[in-house]
Chain A
Amino acid sequence: MAVQVVFRNRFLPYLLVAPQAAVTLVFFFWPAAQGMRQSLLREDAFGLSTEFVGLDNYVEALTDPRYLDTFLRSVAMSALVAFLSMSTALLLAAMADRAVRGGRAYRTLLIWPYAVAPALAGVLWFLMFNPTIGVVGVGLNRMGIAWNPYLDGAQAFVLVTVAASWKQVSYNFVFFLAGLQAIPAALIEAAAIDGASPFRRFWTIVFPLLAPTSFFLLVVNVVYAFFETFAVIHATTQGGPGGATETLVYKVFNDGFIGLDLGGSAAQSAVLMAIVAALTVAQFRLLDRKAGA
């Protein structure tokens, strides 16, 4: 039974919402509006000469074949990070859930990497895999594998993706573990009595019941991979070699803050904003349908 609470004062609700609204206005709408304005201008770095160019910046960005490459690369990286980190986390959570002894210790240890900043996670992996001084990197080369992520774009891409996924495993692990523990033991016991194997129990009972958690995590992970891998990339490859690890967010930074092309960078930000909006709408639609079903 839902209890309906009615405010007597007509203004109180607005007053309560006001601080949040103010924060959103100042820190989101205002800069976003400035960004939109900037995206229609062509300006030198110091802002001494400004020219209104309409949609030129958008046309330039969207017709650049490298922009499309970067877009596809970002999508691939997001999909890989989401898949890698979620599948690993699910496996670990399923194990930790069943651990009889020392379960608490496992859980604590598995959550640790979440405390590592993305930039550090990236540096950590790159140091390990550095072809000249890294333990693994030198080892690989000794084994006759030509390992050099500074030269080979595919290797750099793999390394960034793995580093970003590793960091996200902990977060997913916590949610999956909570999800697993919320599944009534009686259901699984009943299935076990009926003779279902552990594997079958997992696929037919646990996995479907975890679906809402999984879906939530999928969206969170995709957004994470899209935006927060910035720190990993900035601390390691700076988008190289040959642009092999440049994502949409990194390109915005590179063009705007390194190249000082504010108009072009703002136009790309606007495109990014549209992508995020689309992702959010998709999430709500799908969640609504789930709730309705």
Chain B
Amino acid sequence: MKLPRTIAAALLGGLLLTPAAHAATEIQWWHAMGGELGEKLASIAEGFNATQSDYKIVPIYKGNYTETMTAAVAAFRARQNPAIVQVFEVGTATMMAAKGAVYPVYKLMADTRQPFDPKVYLAAVTGYYTDSHDNMLSLPFNSSTPVMYYNKDAFKKAGLNPDMPPRTWPELETAAKALQKAGTPCGFTTGWQSWVQIENFSAWHNLPIGTRENGIAGLDTRLAIDSPAHVKHIGRMAAWQKSKIFDYGGRRSDAAPKFYKGDCAMYMNSSASYAGVKKNVGFAFGVAPLPFWPEIAKEPQNTIIGGASLWVLNGRPKAEYAGVAKFFSYLSSPAVQADWHQFTGYLPITKAAYELTRSQGFYDRNPGTDVAIKEITHKAPTANSKGLRFGNFVQIRDIINDELESAWAGKVDAKTALKTMVERGNKLLRAFEKANKG
């Protein structure tokens, strides 16, 4: 706990020493976007700073998502917290439970009299971050959803139609076999397996991930990912691992090189991986929706998002919050959103930004970039596909990863793996419920 405080103090010291051009109120924004995304984020802050002179948004990179969240929590305990912090979606339950620490966005907007209409936001995106009374608690910033990238050249070589990617899992299996015959060593691989193959698999097939509306309706939720449908899907994937129709490549996006190098012809990962895929592949590629099992659902439902949102923390001087509200309005404006969406591949958070992007002809010039939006809006979200909200979900995802890896390695069968996930995960859910009941 000591270190982050020291760093924060050092940074703060550095800021104080910088001579200010005018007496603008500085507002710290801690975020987890490195590299090009970080630069883009900084340019958004600069854009806002240039529109007015009362407030200055100061973005500070705090490391990866977990590091940023831990730093913010530590800073809050030391009363040195920033006004805005970017928190990844699995930290949502922790933030929501921290009632005294968080300044809900809807309340902030009302208190500062900023014009704010929750209806302009895409429900499939904001649903993740609203409470049970439909109040928006945090502002979605970077949201994405899983899609399937596929190698069109390999499809051609295997005699498959490159414009007809497999729609269902059985079709995918057939295609993978044809691809393997034509010399591609592996059919498909996946990034973020818990997010893609468990959480989104469930939503896409309208199956619950947990009781109590995936935890959104209450802390007394239990995991439900050991249903026969889940066992079937994970069981098939484990069997496919043996014949390399599926080949596991690591927990996060470590599997990407398998697709880039042409080892695997299909690759399921975030829609925000689009830029990376485009930059790294030496072949024609396409983007398709996730496959579904016709035996489980006649039609797919809708996918859920991942990514991060911006939370406002209590304990800053009042003047800063007026600036935060202004900045959030700026951030939600169609031009800023459309630019961010087109540059990064993250979903736009408002309908206006989506319409603007379409009218600019972006989707026609970059085929496949609208697959993500079509997936999350495929059908009106149900209680199973609105999102999820589980406490201790960072560790639960680790457990899911652990057990999936055991299943891929053939150490346990799919049924046992999923049952263990539920047992170990429920323990953590109960611990969270106990720690946050008061």
Which residues from chain A sit less than 8 Å from chain B, CB to CB?
Answer: 31, 42-49, 51, 132-133, 148, 150-153, 238-243, 254-255, 257-261
B12 at the interface (CB under 8 A from A): no
Q: Can you sample 23 A-B contacts with CB below 8 Å?
A: A44-B94, A44-B97, A45-B98, A46-B73, A47-B77, A49-B435, A132-B257, A132-B263, A150-B249, A152-B409, A239-B398, A240-B251, A240-B401, A242-B402, A242-B403, A242-B405, A257-B66, A258-B70, A258-B394, A259-B395, A260-B69, A260-B73, A261-B395
Those of B1-27 within 8 Å (CB) of chain A: 2
B94, B100, B248, B405 interface centre (most CB from chain A within 10 Å):
B405
Name B101's contact: one of A46, A240, A243, A260 (CB within 8 Å): A46
A151–B263 Cα gap in the complex (Å)?
Answer: 17
Name A151's contact: one of B76, B405, B434 (CB within 8 Å): B405
Residue pair B394, A259 in contact (C-beta under 8 Å): yes
What are the 10 tightest A-B residue pairs by CB atom distance, in nearest-first order?
A241-B405, A49-B438, A46-B101, A46-B98, A259-B395, A150-B250, A242-B405, A242-B402, A132-B257, A48-B100
Residue pair A241, B94 in contact (C-beta under 8 Å): no
Residue pair A255, B395 in contact (C-beta under 8 Å): yes
Name B98's contact: one of A48, A241, A255, A259 (CB within 8 Å): A48
B431 at the interface (CB under 8 A from A): yes
Residue pair B402, A240 in contact (C-beta under 8 Å): yes
Name B438's contact: one of A51, A150, A242, A257 (CB within 8 Å): A51
Q: Which residue on A lies nearest to B71, using beta carbons?
A: A257
**What's the count of A-B pairs with C-beta under 8 Å?**
86
B258 at the interface (CB under 8 A from A): yes
Which residues from chain B sit less than 8 Å from chain A, CB to CB?
Answer: 2, 66, 69-70, 73, 76-77, 94, 97-101, 248-251, 254, 257-258, 261, 263, 392, 394-395, 398, 401-403, 405-406, 408-409, 411, 431, 434-436, 438
Residue pair B66, A258 in contact (C-beta under 8 Å): yes
A134–B248 Cα gap in the complex (Å)?
Answer: 16
A48–B76 Cα gap in the complex (Å)?
Answer: 10
Nearest CB of A to B89, in Å: 15
Name A44's contact: one of B2, B254, B394, B436 (CB within 8 Å): B436
Q: A45-B73, A258-B66 are in contact. Are A151 and B98 (CB under 8 A)?
A: no
Residue pair A150, B76 in contact (C-beta under 8 Å): no
Contacts of A148 in B (CB 8 A): 248
Contacts of A46 in B (CB 8 A): 73, 76-77, 98, 100-101
Q: Which residue on B lies nearest to A243, using beta carbons?
A: B402
B392, B406, B431, B435 interface centre (most CB from chain A within 10 Å):
B435
Q: A240-B251, A242-B403, A257-B66 are in contact. Are A44 and B98 (CB under 8 A)?
A: yes
